[in-house]
Amino acid sequence: MKQWYETLFENYADKYEKEPYTKGTIGECDFIEKEIGYNKDLKILDIGCGTGRHSIELAKRGYNVFGIDLSDSMLQKAQENAKRENVHVTFKKHDARRLPFTSEFDVIIMMCEGAFPLMETDEMNYKILQSASNSLKPKNSKFIFTTLNGLFPLFHSVKDFMASQKGYDTVKCSENSFDLMTFRDHNITTFEDDDGKKTELQCNERFYVPCEITWLLKTLGFTTIDIFGAKHGAFSRTDVLTTEDFEMMVIAEK
Percentage above 90 pLDDT, the chain: 80
Mean pLDDT of 85-102: 97
Comparing C-alpha atoms, which of 206, 204, 209, 208 is closest to residue 175? 204
Average pLDDT over all residues of the chain? 94
Q: pLDDT tens-digit profile of 115-145?
A: 899 999 999 999 999 999 999 999 999 999 9
Percentage above 70 pLDDT, the chain: 99
For the chain, domain boundaries: 4-149+208-253
Mean pLDDT of 67-84: 96
Q: Which CATH class is domain 4-149+208-253?
A: alpha beta
The strands making up 142-148's β-sheet, listed across from edge to edge, are 90-93, 64-69, 43-47, 107-110, 142-148, 247-253, 224-229
**The overall pTM is greater than 0.85:** yes
Q: Is 167's pLDDT higher than 70?
A: no
CA distance to 101, 149, 154, 225, per residue, from 211 (Å): 28, 11, 15, 10
Mean pLDDT of 2-13: 89
Q: How many CA atoms, within 13 angstroms, populate the side-chain half-sphere of residue 121?
A: 4
Query: Do you find a cis peptide bond into 153, omega within 30 degrees of 0?
Result: no
Q: pLDDT tens-digit profile of 203-231?
A: 999 999 999 999 999 999 999 999 999 99
Least trusted range by pLDDT, from 19-28, 152-161, 163-172, 173-182: 163-172
